[in-house]
Amino acid sequence: MERKTPLYEEHVALGGKIVPFAGWLLPVQYSGVIAEHMAVREKCGLFDVSHMGELLLKGPGSIANLNHLLTNDYTSMEIGQARYSPMCNENGGCVDDLIVYKKAEDDYFIVVNAANKDKDYAWMKEHLLEGAELSDASDDYAQLALQGPKAEEILKKVADAADIPQGYYTANFDRKIQGMDVIISRTGYTGEDGFEIYLSPADAPRLWNLLLEAGKEEGLIPCGLGARDTLRLEAAMPLYGHEMNDEISPREAGLGIFVKMKKEDFIGKAALVERGKPTIKRVGLKVTGRGILREHQPVLLNGQEIGHTTSGTFCPYLSQPVAMALIPKEYSEVGTALEVDVRGRKVPVEVIPLPFYKRQS
Amino acid sequence: MNIPEELKYTKSHEWVKECEDGTAYVGLTDFAQSELSDLVFVNLPEVGDDVEAGETFADVESVKAASDVYSPVTGTVAEINEELLDAPEKINEDPYGAWLVKVENITDTVDLLDCAAYEQLLEEEA
């Protein structure tokens, strides 16, 4: 049975098309994926991402545990800083990818994928070293994502400027927006500037409506999972279960910069050393023929399968069909002509650079 | 939801316009385009291809997913709406103007619904 987020009634009232996703009932779209996508690229969009999981890690052994459980290095972090990392299994495949915030000394706030939350929590508990305690705080937090070039302007209308984090990938903990306790993080999954705001589920509808009202002039609209996926794909951000899974290593998924092989040890390091330099690479494909690429379609060279697409869609901002794919390195050069088997039809494609979209800063 | 009286409908949300010369235009209903939303690709058969009642003959894709389109009739494709290949959004904008194919030599049809029966079907599905 799927759970409702604290904003379910808001989604229904706004005409959201509700679908089950990762155990939750969430809107796939309101006005339409393209309109919502473009709003985030050009103005601003508001997403309910309350389904995401929140874990807390506390204690003097926290850093040692993060460095043991995750591939990135957490040794030096400022309070308020956020840092992304894959989490590997013993074979070097991915358990999940997540973001760790340093809330205070020996006090970390970890955000994980909804679909993997229970698995991650169990995995981390099982592999926890001494000196730190892990708890699942997912039921204590709703999360709203305010994304787009107008996000800061809109947030300033409801929050104190002093509470708005200035650096990308930083967060302010224990702040208030009109009396509501919030964490404001300058992060997102759209390729735009924006904020992710964590707060009590009971307060979520009030903040949701406050933001929608405040952002009316700037063109803020509510956005669903459909646009969230096309936005992250256009920005070439990986999604667990697509670009990575329990077999694909983060290095193969193009996340090598988040894998610190020089770190003394971490779960999966030995396997990654053994697997050696990745022989496959995550690439961008654009359609040169006609058709729309989707996930898990065979990529062909001279009719032979050499890999598969991991995510694909029609990208609204670029106004063209694209996909990410995992293929052998020797065929990954930009400009290489390949084909994708789209439900039995061979569609000509070309390797192009990632990301498909990068915001002008 | 717009359901023109002069057209016939299928349970899979295609419309059929039967012409006096025995040919028929086939398209997607307003309900279908609204459910699919934001169409970005249309794959049509070629002129001269045979289509079979109840079988898929084209596919349309929204940003999110691909959907098959089922032929309401058995016959031969006489014409395709080439304009849609470059502008699939016309199906969203004008579902009853944006026909997909014109079929000739029609020998069979699926059970077609009139406007009232189709309206009832939509109510039942809602």
Q: A14-56 pLDDT, tens per residue?
A: 999 999 999 999 999 999 999 999 999 999 999 999 999 999 9
Q: A275-279 long-range CB contacts below 8 Å, 24 or more apart?
A: A275/A92, A275/A249, A275/A251, A277/A251, A278/A249, A278/A251, A278/A252, A278/A329, A279/A328, A279/A329
H helices present in B15-71, as ranges: 30-36
Cis preceding-peptide flag for A27 (omega within 30 of 0)? no
pLDDT confidence of residue A166: 96
> Which of B31, B35, B38, B43 to probe the A interface (max A CBs under 10 A)?
B38
Residue A252 has pLDDT above 70, yes or no: yes
Amino acid at A345: R
Of the candidates B37, B43, B59, which has its C-beta nearest A33's C-beta?
A: B37
Chain A's closest residue to B37, CA to CA, is A32
* Residue ranges matching CATH 3.30.1360.120 in chain A: 3-50+141-234
Q: How far apart are CA A329 and CA A117, in angstroms?
A: 32
Looking at the domain covering A279-352, what would its CATH class be? mainly beta
Residue B126: its chain A contacts at CB < 8 A? none
Quick check: A155 pLDDT over 70? yes
Vertex B55, ends B51 and B59: CA angle to 5°?
Answer: 85
Check if CATH label 3.40.1130.10 holds for domain A54-137.
no
**Contacts with B40 from chain A: Cβ below 8 Å:** 34, 292, 314, 321
pLDDT of residue B37: 87
- Per-residue confidence at A120, pLDDT binned at 50, 70, 90? very high
Residue A361's pLDDT is what?
A: 67
Average predicted confidence (pLDDT) for chain B = 95
pLDDT tens, residue by residue, A221-251? 999 999 999 999 999 999 999 999 999 999 9
Quick one: pLDDT at residue A164?
A: 98
Measured CB to CB, residues of chain B less than 8 Å from chain A are: 37-38, 40-41, 43, 59, 61-66, 85
Alpha carbon of A107: minimum distance to chain B alpha carbons (Å): 40
Asked if B66's CB is within 8 angstroms of A294's CB, the reply is: yes
State ipTM: 0.71
At residue B54 the predicted structure's pLDDT band, cuts being 50, 70 and 90, is very high
Residue A47: per-residue pLDDT:
98
Listed in order, the ranges of chain A carrying CATH 3.30.70.1400 are 54-137
Please tell me the predicted confidence (pLDDT) of residue A71: 98
Classify A3-50+141-234 by CATH class: alpha beta
Give residue limits of the domains in chain B: 10-117
Which pLDDT tens digit goes with each residue over A326-348?
A: 999 999 999 999 999 999 999 99
A99 vs A109: CA distance, rounded Å: 8
> What is the residue whose two structure tokens read 């400027």?
A161
Interacting residues of A111 by C-beta distance below 8 A, sequence separation 6+: A52, A53, A54, A55, A98, A99, A101, A143
Sign of CA dihedral A338, A342, A344, A347: negative
Give B17-41 pLDDT, tens digit per residue: 999 999 999 999 999 999 888 999 9
Q: What is the pLDDT of residue A360?
A: 82
Say which of A32, A226, A292 has its CB closest to residue B41: A292
Q: Residues 6 or more apart from A90 whose CB is under 8 A from it?
A: A267, A268, A270, A271
Number of A to B CB contacts under 8 A, please give it.
40
Is residue B65 over pLDDT 90? no
The Cβ of residue B35 has, within 10 Å, a number of other Cβ atoms equal to 14
pLDDT per position as a tens digit, A72-111: 999 999 999 999 999 999 999 999 999 999 999 999 999 9
B43/A345 CB distance under 8 A: yes
- Chain B residues whose beta carbon lies within 8 Å of the beta carbon of residue A32: 37-38
How many residues are present in chain A? 361
User: Does the pLDDT value for residue A143 go beyond 70?
Assistant: yes
Å from A227 to nearest chain B CA? 9
Residues A83, A84, A88: CA angle, nearest 5 degrees:
130
- Residues of chain A within CATH 2.40.30.110 domain(s) are 279-352
B10-117 CATH choice from 2.40.50.100, 3.50.50.60, 3.50.30.10, 1.10.10.410: 2.40.50.100
pLDDT value, residue B125: 81
A321:B62 CB<8 A:
no
